[in-house]
Structure 1
Amino acid sequence: INIIDTPGHADFGGEVERVLKMVDGVLLLVDAVEGPMPQTRFVLQKTLELNHKIIICVNKVDRADGEPKRVVDEVLDLLLDLDATEEQFNSPVVYCSGRMGTSGLTEEQGPDLTALFETIVNYIDPPQGDEKGKTQVLVSSIDYNEYVGRIGIGRVERGEIHTGEEVMVCDYHGNIQPYRSKVVTLMQIDGLKRVPVERALVGDIVCFSGIEGINIGNTVCALDCVEPVPFVKIGEPTLEMRFLVNDSPFAGQDGRYVTSRHLRDRLNRELLKDVSLKVEDGRTTEEFIVKGRGEMHLSVLIETMRREGYEFAVSMPKVLFKTSETGKKLEPIEQLIVDVPSESVGAVMEKIGARKGELVSMNPIGSRVRIEFRVPERGLIGYKNEFLTDTRGEGVMNTLFGGYEVYKGEIIRRNVGSLIAYETGEASTYGLFNAQDRGPLFVEPNTPVYEGMIVGYTTRNEDIVVNVCKKKHVTNMRSAASDEALRLTPPRRFSLEEMLEFLSEDEILEVTPKNLRMRKIIMNNSQRMKEIFRNKE
C-alpha cells in the first residue's frame, strides 16, 4: 500500500492535483478541535472532482477540548457544500489519536491503529486497470539525479513495465511529438527507500530513469499502442516576481552561486519538478521573470535557493491581470478565511475593507470568530504582518484561490517610507541613536551597510536618507567611550515574507545564504533624486 502526503496549501495546487491522480482513495484528516481548515476544503474539492472514495479520520480525540461530533458534522456540511455524491457523503468515520497511536470506529479508542488499517483495506478499492493490457504509465512527478539524469515518477495505469523495455513517450495535450526510448532502471518505494525491481504491475507507483526529456504529464506507452492518459489541467500562475543577479557592493561575499548562468540553471531545474511555475527571460540577460501560484509558492523557492548557497535579488511581487472577452480588466481574487479573537473583529474588518475585501460569512466559535472574505490577491500582499499585529499574534489566516473577477480599483499598499543609508560603512551606535528618532531600524551597531540600503522605516509617507555610520568625533573634552551611554531601541527583525511585503516598486531584496537586505534599485542617492524629479516632470 502506497501512502502519499499532499501539500495542503492552495499555492501548491499543481502538486496536489498531480498527487491525487496517483491514488485510489483518500484519508481526510481533520483536527478534533479546529475542524476542517481552508486547505482541507481545497484538497477535498480536488478529491471529489476525481470521484475518489473518502475515509474521514478525526485526529487528536484524546484532547480535553476536542469536539469530535461537532467536527464530523462540519465535515458533512463541507461535503454537502461541495456537491459530494451519496456514497462520498456516507463515508466511514474513524476516530484516532496520533500521539497515543490508537484508533476506533467510535470515540472509544482501541489499543492500536487496527481499526484505521482495516477500514482502509476493506473500504478503498484495489487499483482499477487492465493487467493484461499494453503498458501505460502516467508521469506525475520528476526527480533529478546527477548519475542517472531525470527520473520519472508515476503510476502504472495499465499492463506492466519492465527494466530494459523499449517504450514510446507521448503527451495528452500534444505538447511533444511521440518518441521512442528505453527504461534503464526501475525502482519502487519501500518505506522511505527506493528499491530496484525488474517489473511493476497495475496500480504500482514506480520511479524509472533512462528516458531523456521525460516531463510531468507525459505518458510512457507500449511501442504498438500509443495512448496518452488524460492529465489534470494545472492552475495558471497568479503572481510574478523578477529574479536578478545581485549587483550590490556586497555581492559575492556570502554565496557560492552568483552568476546569471547559475541562476538560469537553477530556475530551469525547478521547472522540471514544479509544473505550477513559469520562468521567462527579462529585459536583460541578468533578469528572469518567475511566475507562481501565490506569495508562499515563490517565497518557498527563494528560501530553498538561499539555503543551497545561491545569491541573487528579487523584486516586489506583482499580480497577473487578465482581460475579459468584453475588454474589462480582471484580477485574481482570494477566498480569505480568518479565525480571530472576538475583540479583534473590528480591526480586521476595517483593514480588509480598505483592501477592497467583501464579507461572505461570519460564524462565532466559542470566544473566537471565523470570518470569510473575498479579497483581491494584490490586497493581501503585505497584510499578514498587520493581521498578526491587529490580533496580537492570536489570529489564524488562510487563503484559497477564488478565480478572476473585474478589477476592484486602486488599493493603497504601503503608508510608510524607507530610511536609506547615506554611505557605505559600519553602522555606529552614535549614528543609529540619531537615526532612531526618524522611525524603527532594521540594523544594529557594527552591521555593514552600503549607500542605498534600507536600514529602517519612517511613519511619514516619504523616504529619508540617514547617516547610520556617523561617528562622534573625539576631542580633548570628551571621549568616544561616552557612546556606550547611548540607549538604542532593539532593531526590528523581518522574515523573508515580511520583507517581500514591505518592498515598493523602486526597491529590491538582496538574498544571500547569510543575509537578507532590502535596498533601492538606484543605490546612489543623488542619482535617485534626479530620477524622482524627472518622473514628476
Structure 2
Amino acid sequence: MGRRKKMVEHVTELMDKPEFIRNIGTVAHIDHGKTTFSDNLLAGAGMISSELAGEQLFMDFDEEEQRRGITIDSATVSMVHQYEGQDYLINLIDTPGHVDFGGDVTRAMRAVDGAVVLVDAVEGPMPQTETVLRQALRENVTPILFINKVDRLINEIKLTPADMQMRLGLVIDKVNKIVKGLKPNDYDRLKLDPTVGKVAFGSALNNWAISIPYMKKTGIGFKEIIELCQAEKQNELAIKCPLHVVMNDMIIKFLPSPVKAQQERIKVIWHGDKESDIGKSMINVDRGGKIALMITDITTDPHAGEVASGRLFSGTLERGKEVFISGMPNANRIQSVGLFMGPERIECEKIPAGNIVAVTGLTDAIVGSTASSDKSMTPFESIRHVSEPVMTVAVEAKHMKDLPKLVEVLRQVAKEDPTLKVMINQ
C-alpha cells in the first residue's frame, strides 16, 4: 500500500508539468505482445512484481479479456520514469489488436501524442499493423517501433547474427514503407531509423530489449544476444538491458510532450479559430484557460456511475465546475476527477491540461463529444473510424416487462461505443 500511495503522489506532482508528460499508446496486430510489453513498463515503475511482468497481463483486467486471452477494451495507466536525472510522467493506453475492436484504437489515438508500434519478428508487419498505423498517423501521432519476440528468431528459426540483422532490417523497411505511403510529406520526420534509436528489438515475455545506441552503450551485440538466448540465459539479458529502461528512454527522447504535440495536433483535430482565446489556450496547453476536453471513452462504475475519460487539451478540471457538452443545451456539473491506474480510478483534487483524465458527472457525454466551459466552443473534429459495422443483429425481450431494461442497456452500449449503431422500433 505504501509503494502504491507513493506512486500516486509522484504522479500527481508531475501532472502539473506538461513538458515532462508523455501521453502514449501501444498499437499492433493481434498477439504481437502489446499487453505483455505494457506489463514490463509497469514492473519497471514498481507497480507490479518484476517476476510477474509478461505473465500478469495487468491491463487485461476484464473477465472476458482474461478468458479469451486478448485485449478487448483500451486500458489506461499512469506511471513515472526517470531519464537523465529528471522524472517524467508517462500516461499509457494499451489498445486492442483484434480488428473487431479497432474502434477502441481509433479513439485512443485521439487522446495520445505518441505510439509504440509492436511487430512480431517472425510474422513481420501484418494487415492490422498497417490499419493501426493509419489510425495513429491520421491523428498526427508520432510512432516509434519495437520488434518483439526476437528470441524466436534464435531458438526456433536458428538464424545467424548476419541473417537476424537482415531479417530485422526487412521488418523495419516494411514498416517504413507503410509510414511513407501514409505520410509522404512528413516521412523524413517520422522515419523509423534504428541508427538514431527509434527502433528497439527484444522479447517482452522475457523482459529485455536493445537498440543500436544501447548496444554501443553496453557493448552487447547480436552475437552476445544469440549466445545468451541459446544458453537459455535471457534473464541475464533482462538484467543487462531491461525492456522498461530501453523503451521508456526511447519514449521520452523521441515522442513529444503535450507542449510540443498540441502545437501541431490542434491544427488537425480542431477546425475552430486558432487565434481565439480557447484556440491559443489549447495550442499553449494553458492550465488557466477555458476547459477543452475530448471524450474518448465511457465506462460504467458500479459505485460512481458513468465515467467519461479523454484528453484535456486546455484548462483545469476540478469537482464542482460546470462544462457544456457539444450539442446539449444545459451544463453538466463535474462530480469527481481522477486518473486511471488500470482497473482502479484514483481521484484527484484537480487535473490540469495535457493529461488523460477520468471524470464523473458528465451525464450528457457520449464517446467523441467535446466538453468545454465555453458553450460556444467549436467541437473537435469527429472521430472517423476505419471500419464500419458489417453485421446486423435483431434482439427482443423474452418477456414484455423486460423491454425497458433492454432498451436502457442498448442505449448505454451505443453511448459507450459509437461503432455500434442501435435502432429501436418503437
CA distance in structure 2 between the partners assigned to 1:264 and 1:153 by the alignment: 24
8 Å contact from structure 1 (residues 245, 258) kept in 2:
no
8 Å contact from structure 2 (residues 113, 140) kept in 1:
no
For 2:136, what is the secondary structure of its paired residue? helix
Instruction: Name the structure 1 match of 2:377.
Output: 226
- Counterpart of 1:4 in structure 2: which amino acid? I
Instruction: Name the structure 2 match of 1:122.
Output: 253
Q: Which runs of 5+ in 2 are unaligned?
A: 1-89, 158-163, 213-221, 226-236, 260-284
Instruction: Name the structure 2 match of 1:97.
Output: 203
Instruction: Name the structure 1 match of 2:189.
Output: 87
The answer to whether 1:73 aligns with 2:178 is no
Instruction: Name the structure 1 match of 2:117.
Output: 28
CA distance in structure 2 between the partners assigned to 1:124 and 1:235 by the alignment: 24
The answer to whether 1:281 aligns with 2:424 is yes
How much does 1:5 deviate? 1.7
* Greater share of residues in strand: 1
8 Å contact from structure 2 (residues 334, 359) kept in 1:
yes
8 Å contact from structure 2 (residues 315, 353) kept in 1:
yes
CA distance in structure 2 between the partners assigned to 1:20 and 1:168 by the alignment: 23
For 1:278, what is the secondary structure of its paired residue? coil
CA distance in structure 2 between the partners assigned to 1:41 and 1:264 by the alignment: 37
Flag the 1:99–1:244 CA change in 2: closer, same or farther, 3 A.
closer
CA distance in structure 2 between the partners assigned to 1:193 and 1:134 by the alignment: 28
8 Å contact from structure 1 (residues 237, 278) kept in 2:
no
What pairs with 1:313-332 in structure 2 (closer than 5 Å)? Answer: none
Instruction: Name the structure 2 match of 1:161.
Output: 317
CA distance in structure 1 between the partners assigned to 2:325 and 2:299 by the alignment: 17
8 Å contact from structure 2 (residues 295, 308) kept in 1:
yes
Q: Which of residues 150, 157, 173 in structure 2 aligns to 1:61?
A: 150
8 Å contact from structure 1 (residues 245, 259) kept in 2:
no
CA distance in structure 2 between the partners assigned to 1:163 and 1:33 by the alignment: 49
CA distance in structure 2 between the partners assigned to 1:47 and 1:211 by the alignment: 27
- Counterpart of 1:208 in structure 2: which amino acid? V
Instruction: Name the structure 1 match of 2:101.
Output: 12
| Paired positions, count | 270
CA distance in structure 2 between the partners assigned to 1:137 and 1:49 by the alignment: 19
Instruction: Name the structure 2 match of 1:504.
Output: none
For 1:239, what is the secondary structure of its paired residue? coil
For 2:422, what is the secondary structure of its paired residue? strand
8 Å contact from structure 2 (residues 291, 316) kept in 1:
yes
8 Å contact from structure 1 (residues 150, 213) kept in 2:
no
How much does 1:195 deviate? 0.6
Flag the 1:218–1:121 CA change in 2: closer, same or farther, 3 A.
same
Q: What is the CA deviation profile of residues 12-31 of structure 1, one whole-angstrom value per residue up to 9, with x for unaligned ones?
A: 33322111000010001001
Q: What is the CA deviation profile of residues 100-134 of structure 1, one whole-angstrom value per residue up to 9, with x for unaligned ones?
A: 21111135564312121111111111113233321
What pairs with 1:137-536 in structure 2 (closer than 5 Å)? Answer: 137-170=293-326, 176-223=327-374, 226-234=377-385, 237-245=388-396, 259-282=402-425
How much does 1:223 deviate? 4.6
8 Å contact from structure 1 (residues 139, 153) kept in 2:
yes
Flag the 1:196–1:277 CA change in 2: closer, same or farther, 3 A.
same
CA distance in structure 1 between the partners assigned to 2:352 and 2:104 by the alignment: 24
CA distance in structure 1 between the partners assigned to 2:424 and 2:342 by the alignment: 41
For 1:268, what is the secondary structure of its paired residue? helix
Flag the 1:62–1:226 CA change in 2: closer, same or farther, 3 A.
same
Instruction: Name the structure 1 match of 2:70.
Output: none
CA distance in structure 2 between the partners assigned to 1:177 and 1:244 by the alignment: 30
How much does 1:6 deviate? 2.0
Q: Which of residues 126, 132, 138 in structure 2 aligns to 1:49?
A: 138
How much does 1:78 deviate? 2.2
8 Å contact from structure 1 (residues 134, 225) kept in 2:
no
8 Å contact from structure 1 (residues 164, 182) kept in 2:
yes
The two structures, once aligned, show a CA RMSD in angstroms of 2.5
* Greater share of residues in helix: 2
Q: What is the CA deviation profile of residues 65-107 of structure 1, one whole-angstrom value per residue up to 9, with x for unaligned ones?
A: 2632322222222223333421112451111211221111135
CA distance in structure 2 between the partners assigned to 1:7 and 1:99 by the alignment: 18
- Counterpart of 1:103 in structure 2: which amino acid? A
For 1:21, what is the secondary structure of its paired residue? helix
CA distance in structure 1 between the partners assigned to 2:109 and 2:143 by the alignment: 12
Flag the 1:245–1:182 CA change in 2: closer, same or farther, 3 A.
closer
Instruction: Name the structure 1 match of 2:75.
Output: none
How much does 1:203 deviate? 1.8
CA distance in structure 2 between the partners assigned to 1:88 and 1:126 by the alignment: 16
CA distance in structure 1 between the partners assigned to 2:329 and 2:375 by the alignment: 12
- Counterpart of 1:98 in structure 2: which amino acid? A
CA distance in structure 1 between the partners assigned to 2:107 and 2:170 by the alignment: 32
Flag the 1:218–1:56 CA change in 2: closer, same or farther, 3 A.
same
CA distance in structure 1 between the partners assigned to 2:305 and 2:342 by the alignment: 23
CA distance in structure 1 between the partners assigned to 2:360 and 2:150 by the alignment: 44
In the superposition, the TM-score normalised over structure 1's length comes to 0.47
- Counterpart of 1:160 in structure 2: which amino acid? T
User: Could you say which structure has the larger radius of gyration?
Assistant: 1
8 Å contact from structure 1 (residues 150, 214) kept in 2:
no
8 Å contact from structure 2 (residues 108, 296) kept in 1:
yes
